[in-house]
Amino acid sequence: MDGKQGPNVALTAGVTVADLARIVAALPAPATAAGLIDETRELEDLKSALAARQARHAVDFDLRRRREQALAGVPAEQLGAGVGAQIALARRESPAKGGRLLGLAKALVTEMPHTLAALETGQLNEWRATLLVRETACLTATDRAAVDEELAPDAGTFSGAGDRAVVAAARAAAYRRDPRSATQRAAHAAAERHVSLRPAPDTMCYLTALLPVAAGVAIHAVLTRAADALRSDGDTRPRGQLMADTLVERTTGKAGGVSGIEIQLVMTDRTLFQGDSEPARLPGYGIVPAGWARTLAGPDLEQNGNRNEAMRVWLRRLYTAPATGELVAMDSRARLFPPGLRRFVQTRDHTCRTPYCDAPIRHLDHIVPWHNGGTTSRNNGAGLCEACNHTKETPGWNAQTRPGSRHTLQLTTPTGHSYYSTAPPLPGTGVAPRPQLRSWLRHRPPSKQRVPPSRLSTRWRHSGTCRRG
């Protein structure tokens, strides 16, 4: 193969994409090593072609939904609301990524036909096409189309180039067309600065800050100088550790990094008191090892070989239902979720409850809206990110709870497609069964049912003394 062939797929009117998937799955594997490589490349080309088809479908779906919403009397500024979220659910992606996928599709179909053609023939994959769209986002539709045409002869050679080369080619072409917009884009980027937290292996995390380059370089220089000074005074920690510890100390105001901030750690009573190996869960991070959790909850926490300042520890008991493992708590008649119930829902849901969305919880939502008679209760409450909460309020969307071993939410989109979200298992609780298995589970013999233990939520604040609850 010369590396430029497109997928050789011809579907008849009676063959669906699902049929194609079954055909591909049933094909025998090539008999030779060379044949395996050839087919791997052909499958990659096919993936690109399918990505292009998804892009066309996304644009068509957006146009149809906008027409339907206009006929329903939706204001012009709200047309298209919820479209990206529906595309995301269909692609098993988060709603935030669904919006980006819709924007990519619109750019390819309406403004960059040459890039779309390269995607359809396998000369570009979806990520490379995304890079080209991203680097031309600051241009007008006319200039973007001109850059697309300018880069069209290079589309075939991009297969041998790295991502940086693709970005450099698109960026240079965009700058030649409109240097002013490129400069304005750099100025606008400063408004996008933010800080994010992502889990890393072995109870570590990535604390990332997107900053203007001057601010980022200045912070790095300060941390470097501080680390060099400590090394000169005899500190044996590596420079990288010293920079990280200095960042924590100067941000929190405490050498150990704890400064009156409440942290909730959910674990079973067996893990805390009996040395059990059942992992714990740290909100904002995820699953952590049992031994690490016990050490963190104890008064003799150590940092870098030095005993850390003592912390006051409270234990809050969270009981689970005997047969299901679902968290149990009180209801409230208040319009707003009271603090105790708010903490309960946040502990139960952990992240946004929209399927495929794992963004932090920003809003506590009434699943059945308050104005429709929904109660302020643990069963009618769900933690959502801000974007998903706004999407849920768009006309045509519906949410309701469903029976299940744990709190289960059914989200129905305007097209009638339903998606399910089950609250994540607490430590010591098994994975929840799928909705279609519930009828069988209801008839399980009582002797087969397992009674999970109560849960303990551990929280602490910095204090000069230490106690155990």
Distances (CA, A) of 417 to 97, 265, 324, 396: 19, 36, 27, 11
The pTM is what?
0.67
pLDDT digits (tens, 9 = 90+) for 27-71: 999 999 999 999 999 999 999 999 999 999 999 999 999 999 999
N- to C-terminal Cα distance for the chain? Answer: 69
Helix (H, G, I), strand (E, B) or coil at 355: coil
Q: In whole angstroms, what is the distance from residue 354 CA to residue 285 CA? A: 18
- What are the φ and ψ backbone dihedral angles of 440, each rounded to 5 degrees? -70, -40
| Per-residue model confidence (pLDDT) at position 325 | 62
Tens digits of residue pLDDT in 72-101? 999 999 999 999 999 999 999 999 899 999
Give yes or no for a contact between 332 and 462, defined as CB atoms under 8 angstroms apart.
no
Q: How far apart are CA 85 and CA 418, in angstroms?
A: 13
User: What is the mean pLDDT of the segment spanning 434-441?
Assistant: 40
Q: Name the nearest CA neighbour of 337 among 368, 371, 375, 388.
A: 375
Report the pLDDT averaged over residues 94-113: 95
CB 215 within 8 A of CB 226: no
**In angstroms, what CA-CA distances link 204 with 197, 256, 288, 299?**
11, 15, 10, 21
More confident residue, 194 or 327: 194
Max CA pair span of the chain: 77
Cα torsion through 172, 173, 179, 180, rounded to 10: -120
Distance CA 108, CA 356 (A): 25
What pLDDT score was predicted for residue 5?
Answer: 41
- Could you tell me the pLDDT band of residue 448, with boundaries at 50, 70 and 90? very low
Q: Quick one: pLDDT at residue 258? A: 55
> Which one-letter amino acid corresponds to residue 178?
D
What is the CB neighbour count within 10 angstroms for residue 232?
Answer: 8
Backbone angles phi, psi at 143, to 5 degrees: -65, -35
Position 268 confidence tier, pLDDT thresholds 50, 70, 90: confident
The fraction of the chain above a pLDDT of 70, given in percent, is 76
Angle at 92 between CA 392 and CA 148, to 5 degrees: 100
- For the cut 70, the answer to whether the pLDDT of residue 311 exceeds it is no
Rounded CA-CA distance 5/7 in Å is 7
